[in-house]
Structure 1
């Protein structure tokens, strides 16, 4: 599709849940797993989340490794309507590194005036994954760590844009009332499901990190 390699990072219970029914999600995986996730951040050109994650968790999206990386990854928000709060940690930490707002076509003038780079990528409804990746490639981005949420991850999977899965699993069960790690993929038969090849498994305390790469057709 483009020259941008996308890794989807998931941090879930054994049954693939990312939060309780009331939205509680901190912390499912261990501090050691979170430290490993920061190493993953540092290894990518950019980190990307959906605006729902920004509104719910107010993340900073920096790589907090020891020692700190020489260069922080770019921070990208898929935000179709430009709803990222000006008072969010992302927008109040532009001195740490750039923030990119990928919209569905809105110029998001308030966010642009505050210092964010606004990329209109799509129609008036939602950000278009293919358009976004073309813009990212043109800007010299070669790797993106996709961290959430479930709808954003599903949109990249549906577009065939995810090359690798980094799946952290904690040894707990949450049940069907919890939030799923991935949104709807619109499958009508199992033959249409994307297949993944396991390439590595790492024990991190009681957690497990499984790495998969997509089978190329």
Structure 2
């Protein structure tokens, strides 16, 4: 779990089990979680430092479920091999939040490429699966 300023309360349920919290703040105990301070980039955990901390613990696969900036950071670092995307048949327009923040692409050819592996309905939603091309 990424928590830049280590705001997770010690009583949080996520900290009651086998949880790793990566932060740019000074570590402090939070429940039973392991709290590790990593280098920062723009006030957030640097993705290279996050990947190093995970690798040091022999963690080779993670689920990234976060805001658009977190997702964009991992994509920009080339650390996304697969995408599991759920889409609902609703439109939020400009009031919604982007699922991927700006990738600061100079040209379209620089966009990360993925190939679609499948699409399945899940109720009214669609579940799309992609792999890095």
TM more than 0.5: yes
Long gaps (5+) in structure 2: none
Q: Say yes or no: does 1:116 pair with 2:36.
A: no
Contact persistence 2:118–2:130 (CA under 8 A): yes
Rounded to whole Å, the distance in 1 between the matches of 2:35 and 2:11 is 17
TM-score by length of 1: 0.56
Select the residue among 107, 131, 137 that pairs with 2:49.
Answer: 131
Q: Say yes or no: does 1:205 pair with 2:123.
A: yes
Contact persistence 1:107–1:118 (CA under 8 A): no
SS of the residue 2:36 aligns to: strand
1:117-139 CA distance string (max 9 Å, x none)? 11222137221111211221221
Q: Say yes or no: does 1:99 pair with 2:19.
A: yes
Contact persistence 1:81–1:108 (CA under 8 A): no
Q: Say yes or no: does 1:84 pair with 2:8.
A: yes
Aligned length: 132
TM-score by length of 2: 0.88
SS of the residue 2:100 aligns to: coil
User: After TM superposition, where is structure 1 displaced by more than 6 Å over at least 4 residues in a row?
Assistant: none
Higher RCO, Cα 8 Å, sep 6+:
1
CA RMSD of aligned residues (A): 1.7
SS of the residue 1:148 aligns to: coil
Contact persistence 1:122–1:128 (CA under 8 A): yes
SS of the residue 1:90 aligns to: helix
Rounded to whole Å, the distance in 2 between the matches of 1:123 and 1:208 is 36
What does 1:19-58 align with in structure 2 at a 5 Å threshold? none
Q: Which moved more, 1:183-192 or 1:153-162?
A: 183-192
Q: Structure 1's 158 and 117: CA in aligned 2 closer, same or farther, altered over 3 A?
A: same
Structure 1 residue 110: Cα displacement: 4.2
Structure 1 residue 108: Cα displacement: 2.2
